[in-house]
Amino acid sequence: MKLTVTENTKELEKNFKEACQNEMFVKLIKKIKLTKMEALKITSKIEDCVNELEHCKDCKGLSMCKNAFNGHVKMPKKENNQVYFTYIPCKYLKKRKEEENIKKEKLKEQELARMKDIDFSDKKRAKVIKWLDEFFENFNFGDSFKGLYLYGNFGCGKTFLISALLNELTYQKQVRCEIVYFPELLRTLKNDWDLYEEKINLYENVDILCIDDIGAEKVSDWGRDEVLGTILQTRMNQNKTTFFTSNLSIEELESHFKASSSIDDQLKARRIMERIKQLSVPMELISENKRK
C-alpha cells in the first residue's frame, strides 16, 4: 500500500528526528548548511556518511577499513543549492600516496643520477663525495669493499649520491647493483609471500646492494630478523658490498630495532647492528633539504 503525501512526510519527519539523536549527524548537516527540508529527503544517505565516519574514529589503517570504498569516507557536499555525495580519502590513504610520490621521485633520481650530476658546491658534502669518488676509482671485482652507512637529515640527497655511484659502476664497470627502499620491500613481501624467496635471493647475491631508508619501517621480528637479518648475514658471509641510507645514526638505529625492552630483543637488535657495522662505514651527511 502506497503512503499518502502526508504519511510520507510524517515518516520522513520521524526518521529525521531519530537521526538527530546522533550528535555527529547534527554536526554534519550544520557543516554543509543543509536546511531541514533538504536533510529530510536524504536522511538515510547522511546516516550512511555518519556510519562511515564512525568507522574512521577507531580505524588503525587501510587494512582495517570498514567503509564501502577502501581508504575513503562518503561525505555530502552542497553546491548551488544541490546536494551530492563524494568520497574523501582518509589520512591513511593520503599518507600512502605521499609515500608513493616520494618513492616515484626517488626512483626517477636513481635512474638518472650520475657522478657528473653531483653538486660539488656544498662543502658539507665534500667528505662524502670524496669517499664515493675514491670507492669508484678503486673498485675491482673479487676484492672486498665495505659500503657506506650514510645517515643524516631528511632530503639532503643521501639516496641521490649513492645512486650516482652505483649507476656509474653499472655503466662503466658492468657491476650489478640494486637499490631497495626497505619499507616498501617489507610491504611487498607481506602482500605477496610468493615473492619472498625471489626477492631475498636477489638482494643476497647482487654485486652491490643499497638498502635505502632503513629505520623508516615499522619494526617487527619478521622484518628485522627474517628479512633484513637473512639478507645481511648472507652478504656478510660472501663479502658482498652493501650500502645503507638512513635518517638515523648507528646508535639511533639500534634503539629503533629494539622492539621491546626484553633481553632477547636487545640481543637481536645488537646482532643486526654488528652485521651493518661489518658491511659498512658510517658517515654523517647534514645538508640542505633538496626536496623543498
Kindly report, residue by residue over 88-99, the tens digit of the pLDDT. 999 999 998 988
Domain boundary among 89, 111, 138: 89
Give whichever of 62-66, 118-122, 148-152, 157-161 has the largest mean pLDDT: 148-152
Residues 19 and 43 in one domain: yes
Element (DSSP H or E) covering residue 177: strand 177-181
Q: Report the pLDDT value the prediction gives residue 215, as an integer from 0 to 100.
A: 93
Q: What is the pLDDT of residue 39?
A: 83
Question: For residue 50, is it within any domain?
Answer: yes
Element holding 87 (H helix, E strand): strand 82-89
**291, part of any domain:** no
Identify the CATH number of the domain in which residue 212 sits: 3.40.50.300
In angstroms, the CA 278 to CA 61 distance is: 36
Is 136 found in the same domain as 275? Answer: yes
Last residue of a domain, one of 89, 112, 145: 89
Same domain, 76 and 182: no
Same domain, yes or no, for 84 and 141?
no
Q: Does residue 290 lie in a domain region?
A: no
Give which of 78, 63, 64, 97 is closest to 28, Cα–Cα: 78
Q: Are residues 63 and 207 in the same domain?
A: no
> Which stretch, 105-109, 141-145, 237-241, has highest mean pLDDT?
237-241
pTM > 0.75: yes or no: no
Identify whether residues 124 and 222 lie together within a single domain.
yes
pLDDT of amino acid 63: 85
Q: For the chain, what is the mean pLDDT?
A: 88
Residue 231 belongs to some domain of the structure: yes
Angle in degrees, CA 14, 20, 25, rounded to 5: 130
pLDDT tens-digit readout, 193-242: 888 899 999 999 999 999 999 999 988 889 999 999 999 999 999 999 99
Q: Which of 89, 119, 134 is the last residue of a domain?
A: 89
- 116 and 34 both lie in a single domain: no
What range does the domain containing 220 cover? 98-285
- Residue 6: pLDDT over 80: no
**Based on the domain organization, do 24 and 160 belong to the same domain?**
no
What total of structural domains would you count in the chain? 2
- Res. 4: pLDDT tops 60: no
- The predicted pLDDT at position 1 comes to 43
55 lies in some domain? yes
**Domain match, 154 and 114 both:** yes
**How far is the C-alpha of 190 from the C-alpha of 207, rounded, in Å?**
25
Residue 292 lies in a domain: no
Distance of CA 173 to the CA centre of its chain: 32
User: Same domain, yes or no, for 64 and 167?
Assistant: no
pLDDT tens-digit map of 32-51: 888 888 888 888 898 998 89
Looking at the domain assignment, is residue 214 inside a domain? yes
Say whether both 171 and 115 belong to one domain: yes
Contact in structure between 77 and 84 (CB atoms under 8 Å)? yes
Q: What is the pLDDT of residue 103?
A: 74
- The pLDDT of 163-183, averaged and rounded, is 94
Please indicate, yes or no, if residue 120 is contained in any of the structural domains.
yes
With a cut of 50, say whether residue 2 has pLDDT above it.
Answer: no
Same-domain pairing of 56 and 189: no
Q: Contact 177/206 with Cβ under 8 angstroms?
A: yes
